[in-house]
Homo-oligomer: A and B are copies of this chain.
Amino acid sequence: MTPAGAGGGDRGPTLAVVGATGAVGTVLLSILSERKDIWGEIRLIASPRSAGRKLTVRGEEVEVVALGEAAFDGVDVALFDVPDEVSAQWAPVAAARGAVVVDNSGAFRMDPDVPLVVPEVNPHAVRNRPRSIIANPNCTTLSMIVAMGALHAEFGLGELIVSSYQAVSGSGKEGVDTLREQLGKLAGTELGTQPGDIRRAVGDLGPYPAPIALNVVPFAGSLKEDGWTSEELKVRDESRKILGLPELRVTATCVRVPVVTTHSLTVHARFENEVTVAQAHEILRAAPGVVLCDDPAAGDFPTPADVVGTDPTWVGRVRRSMDDPCALELFVCGDNLRKGAALNTAQIAELVAAESAA
C-alpha cells in the first residue's frame, strides 16, 4: 500500500468513497467519523451532478469530486456505494490504478475471483482477491448472517428458511421519500378498509410495484427464474458463499414493509446437531457483533424502531422447533444501512489497511 495521498501527509492510507452522496454513502461518512481514525485523506466521489458539493466527514468539510480515472490517483482503498452498472464499469478501473476496491453493489458478489466478506464470519477471505476487488453482501443477507455464522460454527447449519420484513431505505433515498410521501397522503384518513382505496390515494408508487404505506409488498428486486426474485436468490447464493457451504439449503421469501431503516427476518434454522435455547443463547451472547435481546416476558425482543442506528445484529424470540430438536426459530434485526451496508464495508477496509500495516 502506497503512502497516503495529497491531503493525508503520512497519517495513513488514502480512502475513496464512491457514491458519497447516496443513502449508504451518507451513513458511511458518519461511520467513518465515529470509528478509530486510521485514514489519511478521505476522498469523496459521486456523479458529475454532485461535483463541488461539500460534505462533512471526521468533522471537516470535503468537496465532492466527479467520478473519473484521475479521481483514483493515489487511492489505497476505494469503497464503492453506487448502482451495479457504475460499479461494474469503474471498480476495475480503480483496481487497475492500484486501489483495493470494496464494492457494495451486486456486480461482483458471485464472481469466483472476488471474495464476499463479513469480518465476523470469514475475515480471512479478504486476502484472496485476485482482481483486487472484495464484495460486500446484500443487506438482507447481512442482517442475519453474523448471528447465523456464530450458530453454524457451533451446531453446523443444514437449512435456512427465512422471511424478510425489509425497510424502504434498502431501495435507497427514493424508497424513503416514497414511504414518507405516501404516509403524508394517508395520515388522518380512514383508508385501508376497501380494496384499492390506498392505491388510489397514494398515486405515485415510486420504486415499488404496490403501495408501501399501510401495506406489505411481497416482491423485492427483479423477477428471476421460476418465480423467484433477485433478492431471494441473493439470500441463498450469498449465504452459501459467505459460510463456505455451497450445498446449504436456503429458501427466502422477501417482503417489503413500511419501516424506514432496519431489516428484520424470521429464521427457521435446522442444524446437523440437536440444539437447545440455552445453548443458542450462550453462543449468541458471546458472539462478536451480535446482541441477544430475548426476554419476551419482560417485553425484550428486537424491533426496527429500537435497533435502527445501531451496529450489531439483534436476535430475539429464540425458540426450539416443537417438531425437530435440531431446529431453532429466531427473529433477527439489523440496520440495513449500517451493518447491512456501510459499516461492513468500513470493517473490510480496516481489515485491508491492517494487513498492509502489519
Contact = CB atoms under 8 A, between A and B. Distances in A.
A32 interface: no
A194 interface: yes
B303 A218 contact: yes
A297 interface: yes
A214 B167 CA distance: 9
A303 B216 contact: yes
A192 B259 contact: yes
Contacts of A198: 305
A165 B255 contact: yes
A316 to B, nearest CB: 7
A339 interface: no
B317 A211 contact: no
What range describes how many residues of A lie at the interface? 35 or more
Contacts of A304: 214-216
A217 B306 CA distance: 11
A153 interface: no
Nearest to A256: B303
Contacts of A257: 165, 216, 257-258
Nearest to A196: B306
Interface in A155-170: 159, 161, 163, 165
A192 B322 CA distance: 36
A260 interface: yes
Contact of A219 (B165, B261, B317, B327): B317
Contacts of A264: 216, 218, 255
Interface string A100-129: 000000000000000000000000000000
Contacts of A217: 303
Nearest to A253: B266
A310 B195 contact: yes
A38 interface: no
B215 A303 contact: yes
Contacts of A306: 195-196, 199, 210
Between A226, A251, A259, A303, the greatest number of chain B beta carbons within 10 A of the residue's beta carbon is seen for A303
Interface string A256-286: 0111110010101000000001000000000
Contacts of A324: 249
A223 interface: yes
Interface of A: 159, 161, 163, 165, 183-184, 186-188, 191-199, 209-211, 214-219, 223, 226-229, 236, 249-251, 253, 255, 257-261, 264, 266, 268, 277, 294, 296-297, 299, 301-310, 316-324, 327, 329, 331
23 contacts: A165-B257, A183-B183, A183-B187, A187-B188, A192-B261, A193-B308, A193-B309, A194-B309, A195-B309, A195-B310, A196-B305, A197-B308, A199-B306, A211-B305, A215-B303, A215-B304, A215-B305, A219-B301, A226-B319, A236-B322, A249-B324, A251-B329, A255-B331
Given A184-B188, A215-B303, 12 more contacts: A165-B165, A184-B187, A187-B188, A192-B305, A197-B308, A216-B264, A217-B303, A218-B316, A251-B321, A255-B266, A255-B331, A258-B258
